[in-house]
Amino acid sequence: MNFTEITALYDEYICGTYSRFPLAVERGKGARCTDVNGKEYIDFSAGIGVNSLGFSSDAWVEAVTGQAQKLNHVSNLYYTEPQALLAKKLCDKSGMKKVFFCNSGAEANEGAIKAARKYGIDRKGAQAYEIITLDKSFHGRTFGALSATAQPVFQEPFGPMLPGFVYAAPNDISDLKAKVSANTCAIMLESVQGESGVLNLNEAYLQAVAEICGEQDILLILDEVQTGIGRTGKFFSYMHFGLTPDIVSAAKGIGGGLPLGAVLFGEKAKDVLGPGTHGTTYGGNPIVCAGSLAVLEQMTDGFMLEVAEKGAAIAEQVSTMPHVTGVSGLGMMLGISVEGIDAPTVVSHCLEKGLIVLTAKEKVRFLPPLTITMEEIKTGLDIFESVLKEV
């Protein structure tokens, strides 16, 4: 099918929830892909941080196809080896103790919210279900995750939210202290707020939050859906700040392209969800877990260092380009502030010239596959610079 035929079917049959850019991707390898017209692109988006190893990497394809030929699915009434191995690997790499597998970031946060509420209610009483989240956060589109997402723009069309969420200003510890109460069961945050413009929380703030949590038996929940699995140059971003979270949600990059989410529990919270309290049909599917194992196989200390170095190199080069007024983020999760041109225009022009980039609110956002080479980075940045020079 050609581009027009494909988009005609979308227009007629697919729910209009996205404003899409004019690109229909046909195939890809690593940080390069080809559209249905045969035009090539460098990818600085990784499917919004999903394709950690790029498009269809050999290791991932081999793991997924090998598992698909052996066993596609059994229910969570039974056991499979890939799920067992993946849970162990996630705990080994993170210091967390137990894992619940699901299928997306929103679902991972739903699991985190349920566990936190149950922890509070079990320990402090029936009213102790309040969760503090931060303004400009993004935790997903389902009702619990949406209620946690302190952005009216996402919530307003849908009537009342789930009760029990209290919103605090990011990087403002006195505001947080004012909002903590005897009913607070958890504080949930992203160390770098991805969807809101790649906004970094500062280290002193994160450590102060952790301290409050520790003192008052409040669970610290890190939403690592975007920042996790090597994206920031550490396996999880909280490792940059010496934090020991009680619950971590992960998704996006964890599956390397297939839908997988995980809720990781630390010592305090690892037994909160007992038999019958939570569940999902697909979560921990063996094919998806096999693919994830291939992703985690890559996440060595040396690889993390390379991610950090590549991210720093990109940030440094971009910061000297025309229109650029600042670069935020961590590792290969970068937000680029531009002046005199708006981010969607930059994205469109880049696409025309064969570079896929994202926006995050008013910024241009880069989330390249973690395996991108320095040569591919150079090709991409040359395109990016030429776009900024022309406009």
Ligand X SMILES: *Cc1c(COP(=O)(O)O)cnc(C)c1O
Q: What's the start-to-end Cα distance of the chain, in Å?
A: 33
By beta-carbon proximity to ligand X, the closer residue of 138 and 384 is: 138
By beta-carbon proximity to ligand X, the closer residue of 114 and 124 is: 114
By beta-carbon proximity to ligand X, the closer residue of 106 and 185 is: 106
| Residue 343 and residue 308 in contact, taking contact as beta carbons nearer than 8 Å | no
* CB of residue 131 to ligand X, shortest distance in Å: 14
Question: What residue has token string 């006195």?
Answer: 174
**Cα separation of 2 and 238, whole Å?**
44
| Residue 384 and residue 354 in contact, taking contact as beta carbons nearer than 8 Å | no
Interface ranges with ligand X (CB under 6 A) = 104-106, 109, 138-140, 190, 194-195, 223, 225-226, 251-252
* CB of residue 143 to ligand X, shortest distance in Å: 12
Give the nearest residue (CB) to ligand X. Answer: 105
By beta-carbon proximity to ligand X, the closer residue of 128 and 227 is: 227
* CB of residue 333 to ligand X, shortest distance in Å: 10
By beta-carbon proximity to ligand X, the closer residue of 30 and 111 is: 111
By beta-carbon proximity to ligand X, the closer residue of 98 and 141 is: 141
**Cα separation of 191 and 333, whole Å?**
12
Tokens of 121: 């209610």
By beta-carbon proximity to ligand X, the closer residue of 60 and 138 is: 138
Residues 6 or more apart whose Cβ sits within 8 Å of residue 31: 42, 43, 44, 54, 55, 368, 369, 371, 372, 373, 376, 380
C-beta atoms surrounding 120 within 10 Å: 26
Question: What residue has token string 């196809």?
Answer: 65
* CB of residue 250 to ligand X, shortest distance in Å: 10
**Cα separation of 136 and 38, whole Å?**
39
* CB of residue 33 to ligand X, shortest distance in Å: 21
* CB of residue 215 to ligand X, shortest distance in Å: 26
* CB of residue 133 to ligand X, shortest distance in Å: 11
DSSP state letters, 247-262: EEEE-GGGGBTB--EE
| Residue 62 and residue 68 in contact, taking contact as beta carbons nearer than 8 Å | no
